[in-house]
Amino acid sequence: MPGNAIPQDKTRPASGIVHLGLGAFFRAFGCVYVADAMAASGGDWGIIGVSLRSPDTRDALRPRGWRYQSVTLAPDSEMICDIDVLNDVLVAPDDPVAVLAAMADPAIKIVSLTVTEKGYCHNPSTGALNLDHPDIQHDLAHPTPVSAPGFLVRALEMRRAADHMPFTVLTCDNLPENGKLVRGMVLQLAQEIDPRLAVWIEKNGRFPSTMVDRITPATTPADIDRIAARTGISDAGPVFHEPFSQWAIEDDFVDDARPDFAAAGAEMVADVSAHEDMKLRMLNGTHSALAYTGYLAGHETIADTIADPVFAQYARLLWSEIMPSVEAPKGVSLADYADALFARYSNPSIRHRTWQIAMDGSQKLPQRILGTLRDNMAAGRPSPRLCLAVAAWMRYGVGTDEAGQYIDVRDPLADQMRAAAASADTVADKVAAYLALRDIFPADMADKLQEPVTQAAQLLWTKGARAAAQEVSS
């Protein structure tokens, strides 16, 4: 095994997948699907997890030999099961060579990713790789990378040099046309490093797009203590999630090598774009809107927010603004999907914090909200609730809440956001300063948003988030 793996049970399946970004979501989602696929149809699809930043996940999982507990949180019950699909966990900053060696191993057929939007080092408004990003600058100058795109390209470079087929790149992040987008970024970086490598990847590589869906709140120390008391098992790395899960995957893999995902309940499709667009706009879009408005109104979680009748009505009307821009996947009712989302948001067992969802908003807004706004503006459809969501993101980015308390804004553009808010005295000028952030708002769209977002922002700044949500929902 690569890296510093502990001895393993010889009956455990060999590794066929390397996963970059081994956070709670993938362990509550992808690992469960892979385990179920192997239980149904066999295969050597064990996973080598990679933490790209911190050793915390490795250190939490090591004592139990990479096993961990998966806790399903229903409204009135919870179910606990052990997930035993990880064969090793590597920490990229500690040993990037070991990570590259694992990815270059021809036994690895898939490299999957959940590195969040900001982990791709791209420009959210264009989808292109940001060649000026410090991590990409490092990866252009050094053979041992630090970024997710860098690891993909350098490992593919090693596979080509050894005359091995490439691995399939399976992104599981909430990005529009995520496989196509990541393919473009990989080819862009490969072109900078070696144009022949870019040609080889373009010809032989596969980048299926996916749609992933399972609400996974952050695990707290109290959660860990509670599950340990119930099970008698000391597990520092349990994950908590809702009962619902959905995975739509374009069935396009190198040599058709993949686990039997369909046996585990995934939808294998020719084109995932309709599923993806529906989820990004209707779930992720409303999640972000409720996160910013709900946080500013003093609500800690999405369940708390949706229990407030003002925000329940706001959510319902948000979907009425979003649905005209969404093409439903075959056999799906968008109204039924919205009803199901409302029920999921209302689950009191899912303590999904508004602050957690609010992270990295500069990277999320273009995919989750701005695309819908662009479509609505082109069709002449007013969008006062979506504009309030954008204004609430701006208000949140000021860094203090409505009571004057400090907000810990976690965002790659946090400094620029605070500077934009501080650069002007009037609400209209603050909005203009935010809309001038070209990494988020293209110039043509910024001009069209100035008036409606300013109107929403003035309402928000003057009356507060709850009253503003009530006014745009009346």
On whether both 322 and 441 belong to a single domain, the answer is: yes
Domain extent, residue 417, equals 273-472
- Residue 49 exposure: Cα atoms within 13 Å on the Cβ side: 31
pLDDT of residue 259: 98
304 assigned to some structural domain: yes
Tell me: do 197 and 87 sit in the same domain.
yes
- Do 212 and 304 belong together in one domain? no
For residues 156 and 201, the answer to whether their CB atoms sit within 8 Å is: yes
Residues 71 and 170 in one domain: yes
Question: Of 269, 293, 313, which residue constitutes the final position of a domain?
Answer: 269
Q: Confidence band (pLDDT; 50, 70, 90) for 8?
A: very low
**178 and 283 inside one domain:** no
Q: Who has greater pLDDT, 309 or 3?
A: 309
Question: What per-residue confidence (pLDDT) applies to 4?
Answer: 32
Stretch 450-474: mean pLDDT, rounded? 97
What would the pLDDT profile of 27-52 be if each residue is shown by its tens digit? 999 999 999 999 999 999 999 999 99
In whole numbers, what is the pLDDT of the chain averaged over residues?
A: 95
d(CA 90, CA 96): 9
Does 20 share its domain with 163?
A: yes
Residue 21 shares a structural domain with residue 96: yes
What are the pLDDT digits (tens) for 191-212? Answer: 999 999 999 999 999 999 999 9
Please state the domain count of the chain.
2
Is residue 2 one of the residues assigned to a domain?
A: no
Residue 278 domain-assigned (yes or no): yes
Residues 338 and 303 in one domain: yes
278/259 same-domain check: no
Model pTM score: 0.91
Domain end marker among 227, 243, 269: 269
Averaged pLDDT, 157-177: 97
pLDDT per residue as tens digits for the range 215-238: 999 999 999 999 999 999 999 999
- Domain termination residue (choose one: 220, 239, 269): 269
pLDDT at 422: 92
pLDDT tens-place string over residues 263-306: 999 999 999 999 999 999 999 999 999 999 999 999 999 999 99
- In this structure, the answer to whether residues 347 and 261 fall within a common structural domain is no
CATH assignment of the domain containing 324: 1.10.1040.10
Over residues 44-92, the pLDDT tens digits come to 999 999 999 999 999 999 999 999 999 999 999 999 999 999 999 999 9
For residue 81, what are the β-bridge partners? Answer: 70
